Structure 1
Amino acid sequence: MADARGGKSAGATVPVRAQHRLDEVALRNWMEQNVTGFAGPMQIDQFSGGQSNPTYRLRTPGRHYVLRRKPPGELLKGAHAVEREARVMAALGQTDFPVPVVHGLCTDDSVIGSWFFVMDMVDGRIFWDASFPEVPQAERAAYMDAMNATLAALHGIDYAAIGLGDYGRPGGYVVRQIERWSKQYLADELAGRHPAMDRLVDWLPAHLPASDATSITHGDFRVDNMIFHPTEPRVIAVLDWELSTLGDPLADFAYHAMMYRMPRDILGGVAGLDLGATGLPDEAAYVAAYCSRTGRAGIDDLDFYIAFNMFRFAAILHGIKGRAARGTAASADAQAMGERFARVAELAWEQTASMR
């Protein structure tokens, strides 16, 4: 569990890293012109995590903010989409869905060297392990259920009504995602190849599910991407919307549910735990709860969706590995994350065994 934050990063902060330094005077001037109520002086430090977009804490006497920016250096096309994060959170802020307040987006590279946005810092608790070991055993199921209910609520929002009708293309989400991540994986030669990943590039598009619904999808909905109430099993802010779009809600849910099949050291997975003794619902019960909330009888293609999401996550790790090799990775432990790429690719291929 970590301290409060309003962006994707560890709760702990460090002095701003040399490769992520910014013009503090220019930023303060931008804040004065664009953030209502802003008043300095301002102190800046950097959250120690954040695999994709460097994230900073901005402290003033009256308020704390979080700044998310694109990393410096050469970037893959379409990656590090801070502008999409800002847009979707601002739109969801019109509803009762839990997101931080967004104060402004800057698309002028001359201010701090890359695009960025500023949002409120939210006070609460962050957990890095989906088994919630810090919580009393009797309360853990309620925390799991809070995540389940939050994701189901997201998938039920009328995206057109809040101005997100053009946030993505309805239908064809899984096909496009397979194409996108396959292309990025194959293009990043510096990060290397893996046989399991190569097989998935060919196998996945040939075994697509029949369902093709559309909703707002978060794209990275997991326990450490949300802030919980300081004392209650309630989600008060969902973070890290970089991969959000209009997409298949079942794919989005399966990404979240793959925690049941992920090792303990990757994404806070719960695979291998005695769930009953730990006080957690099993995968079947968790899937049933989501289906009950969203009016479904079940998810017939769950194994495919989980294999697809593991492939997608492996491609993201592959990208981190490449950025580490190029020296543009945002996180100090990017190299270790990149090394997990092979393990996730192999695990993804294992998920397809029942369908081969």
Structure 2
Amino acid sequence: MTRESTSTPLDLDRLADYLRQHIPEFRGPLKAQKFAGGQSNPTFLLDTPERRYVLRRQPPGQLLKSAHAVDREYRVLRALADTGVPVARAWHLCEDREVIGSMFYVMSYEDGRIFWNPALPEVESGTRRDYYASIITTLAALHDVDVDAVGLGDYGRAGNYFQRQIGLWTRQYRAAETEPIAAMEALIAWLPAHCPADTQRVSLVHGDFRIDNLIFAHDAPRVRAILDWELSTLGNPLADLAYFCMCLRLPAKGNITGLRGQDRSALGIPEEEDMVARYCALRGLPAIENWNFYLAFSFFRLASIAQGVKARALQGNASNANAHEVGGMVEPLAKLAVELID
């Protein structure tokens, strides 16, 4: 991981004593730095003389019942350990909130590269197609995991995934609504009326499958680990595929960087139809019908999330320093979705 980090106090002596008892071969002394960024579950790099670890915790204080479920993230990492899907090794889950003030888990530190811009300016143009091929191959492998065989058959509700998700994010949007947005109203009316039949086999869905939630090897266009499983559940795998493909339509400048208006051919980045075709070939799927629905839903969901950030920013309790900028994305995101359904 190469995310910029900042020092953050923890009770390192108490934490080191605890980890020494629960992680084989753990040896102190211990240093810690908090990774910068907008994670709702604060994440820390732990340094010891022999090894690096990553600690991911719930925020301290009173939490909503189902929010910040780091125990679910830990469960997913454990379940995927021997599947071939690239994830960090889950070392230990601590449910004793007395140790550092909240539930946390510790996983391996995966050294590699994180890219924040899907144009991949850091790599040679001739290799960018290979990076995207690795991303799609990784996503297909994730969705091919037999959830029952790895013990995740009860990780979420089966069936009617998009109907339930549309209802969920509509409620979330209404709860955080600050002013009328015509494009959001259009989506709230259109999406449930055009929801396709849920014919895909239920898969483990990551929920936030973006390029900056992937760690790549230093020396090859290969995904080393998928990060941030906070929104994972069981559902329709096309949600992840469409969510990733949003980057092709998002503006090149903004809080979430995209490729809209970029010459993807000159950049060496495959077209959307090529990525979708590769995914379908890897999974043995027929051509995807109603593709614009899946894209429109992805924009609507992201807009609803951004509206929640905006509401918290206006209330003065947003955790992300860029909250007002994120909040400004709501209407533009909704308008991009409406372009797909008009």
* TM-score with structure 2 setting the length: 0.93
Partner of 1:15: 7
Determine the C-alpha separation between the residues in 1 that align with 2:242 and 2:318.
Answer: 27
Tell me: higher relative CO, structure 1 or 2? Use CA pairs within 8 A at least 6 residues apart.
1
1:108 aligned counterpart, secondary structure: coil
Partner of 1:332: 321
Instruction: Go from structure 1 to structure 2 and tell me whether the alpha carbon gap of 1:187 and 1:75 turns closer, same or farther (over 3 Å shift).
Output: farther
Partner of 2:310: 321
Name which of 261, 270, 278 aligns with 1:289: 278
Aligned residue runs from structure 1 range 176-187, under 5 A: 176-187=164-175
1:342 aligned counterpart, secondary structure: helix
Determine the C-alpha separation between the residues in 1 that align with 2:282 and 2:260.
Answer: 24
**Identical amino acids, percent of aligned pairs:** 49
Instruction: Go from structure 1 to structure 2 and tell me whether the alpha carbon gap of 1:171 and 1:14 turns closer, same or farther (over 3 Å shift).
Output: same
Contact 1:129 1:268 (8 Å CA) reproduced: yes
Task: Structure 1 unaligned segments of length 5 or more: list them.
Answer: 6-10
Name which of 33, 54, 71 aligns with 1:66: 54
Tell me whether 250-259 or 78-87 shows the greater mean CA deviation. Answer: 78-87
Contact 1:52 1:329 (8 Å CA) reproduced: no
TM-aligned CA deviation for residue 30 of structure 1: 2.6
Partner of 1:8: none
> Counterpart amino acid of 1:338?
G
1:58 aligned counterpart, secondary structure: strand
TM-aligned CA deviation for residue 131 of structure 1: 1.7
Contact 2:93 2:105 (8 Å CA) reproduced: yes
Determine the C-alpha separation between the residues in 2 that align with 1:69 and 1:323.
Answer: 21
Contact 1:102 1:118 (8 Å CA) reproduced: yes
Determine the C-alpha separation between the residues in 2 that align with 1:52 and 1:149.
Answer: 28
1:204 has 2:191 as partner = yes
Determine the C-alpha separation between the residues in 1 that align with 2:263 and 2:301.
Answer: 27
> Counterpart amino acid of 2:56?
R
Partner of 2:182: 195
The alignment of Structure 1 onto Structure 2 pairs a total of residues equal to: 340
Instruction: Go from structure 1 to structure 2 and tell me whether the alpha carbon gap of 1:62 and 1:219 turns closer, same or farther (over 3 Å shift).
Output: same
Determine the C-alpha separation between the residues in 2 that align with 1:204 and 1:173.
Answer: 13
Contact 1:140 1:280 (8 Å CA) reproduced: yes
User: 4+ residue stretches of structure 1 with deviation over 6 A?
Assistant: none
Task: Structure 2 unaligned segments of length 5 or more: list them.
Answer: none
Q: Deviations over 1:86-106 (max 9, x none)?
A: 111111012211000111122
Tell me whether 211-220 or 330-339 shows the greater mean CA deviation. Answer: 330-339
Tell me whether 309-318 or 319-328 shows the greater mean CA deviation. Answer: 319-328
Determine the C-alpha separation between the residues in 1 that align with 2:224 and 2:90.
Answer: 15
> Counterpart amino acid of 2:137?
A
Name which of 254, 267, 282 aligns with 1:278: 267
TM-aligned CA deviation for residue 133 of structure 1: 1.3
TM-aligned CA deviation for residue 302 of structure 1: 0.9
1:168 has 2:126 as partner = no
Instruction: Go from structure 1 to structure 2 and tell me whether the alpha carbon gap of 1:266 and 1:149 turns closer, same or farther (over 3 Å shift).
Output: farther
Q: Deviations over 1:107-162 (max 9, x none)?
A: 23332222221111101111111121111111110001110110011111111101
TM-aligned CA deviation for residue 80 of structure 1: 2.1
Partner of 2:217: 229
Contact 1:48 1:332 (8 Å CA) reproduced: no
Determine the C-alpha separation between the residues in 2 that align with 1:329 and 1:61.
Answer: 36
Determine the C-alpha separation between the residues in 1 that align with 2:55 and 2:230.
Answer: 14
Partner of 2:289: 300
Q: Deviations over 1:225-264 (max 9, x none)?
A: 0110111010010101111111101122111111111112
Name which of 29, 42, 61 aligns with 1:41: 29
1:177 aligned counterpart, secondary structure: helix
